[in-house]
Amino acid sequence: MLALCFTLAFAGATLAPGSVSVTNDGGGLKIKWSTSGESNTLGDQFEVRRNGISIGYVPAKGSPSDYVYLDQDVFKTSATTTTYTYQIFLDGAQFTPAVSITYTSTSSVKRTWGSLKAMFR
Is 86 among the domain residues? yes
Q: How far is C-alpha 91 from the chain's CA centre? A: 16
Mean pLDDT of the chain: 79
Q: Identify the CATH number of the domain in which residue 102 sits.
A: 2.60.40
Is 4 among the domain residues? no
State the residue range of the domain holding 51: 11-119
Confidence of residue 3 (pLDDT cuts 50, 70, 90): very low
Residue 35 to residue 19: CA distance in whole angstroms: 8
pTM of the model: 0.73
Residue 86 to residue 66: CA distance in whole angstroms: 17
Is the pLDDT at 4 greater than 80? The verdict is no
How confident is the model over 72-77, as a mean pLDDT? 77
Is 74 among the domain residues? yes
Question: Which helix (DSSP H) or strand (DSSP E) does residue 66 occupy?
Answer: strand 66-71
Is 3 among the domain residues? no
Total tally of structural domains belonging to the chain: 1
Is the pLDDT at 69 greater than 50? The verdict is yes
Torsion of CA 110, 55, 87, 50, to 10 degrees: 50
